[in-house]
Amino acid sequence: MGFEYIKALHIIFVVTWFAGLFYIVRLFIYQTEAMERPEAERAILKPQLDLMASRLWYIITWPSAVLTLIFGFWVLTYRMGYLQLGFMHAKLGFVALLYGYHIGCHILFKEIKKGRTRWTSTQLRIWNEASTLLLFAIVFLIVLKSTVSMLWGIVSLVGLGVTLMLGIRIYKKFRNRA
């Protein structure tokens, strides 16, 4: 299989993996809020949300994470010289953080499935933004191929993080008024 096909498959599975990561935490939020509902509502919501989360996690997110890794290593076999460049070290560091985030989501998935949650829906909303920050870092590094630009990228990520936090706070105030 040619390099461009392998690279395309890698990108496709990155996209589906991120879609799963973004949506699974949203389901965690709904599940957490459902556990705070009266028993009659909880009895309807929790099984349906658990089913949705299980299907998303095991049919889309986990396979996409594994296939992203396989095709990513395969892409690197065509570009071994990249492993000596600083931007690739930084990118792979962020990718390692993303897999750590994925494992963290798996732990949350297991806890919530058992009906336990240690995080509030607001904390989960903040957790959800970590994957957004990692996405920005990884994409900018791989497109710009520069660790010098990474400094500006980090400054931008901090700005984005602050903006996201403000957005979450504004949303929470707006939601509490409704």
Rounded to whole angstroms, what are the CA distances from 73 to 8, 15, 88, 146, 159? 13, 17, 13, 20, 32
- Has 89 been labeled as part of a binding site? no
Nearest to 141 by CA among 100, 95, 80: 95
Neighbours of 31 (CB within 10 A): 24
Residue with tokens 């996209």: 15
- Has 102 been labeled as part of a binding site? no
Q: Annotated binding residues, as ranges? A: 10, 91
Q: Annotated binding residues for heme, as ranges? A: 10, 91
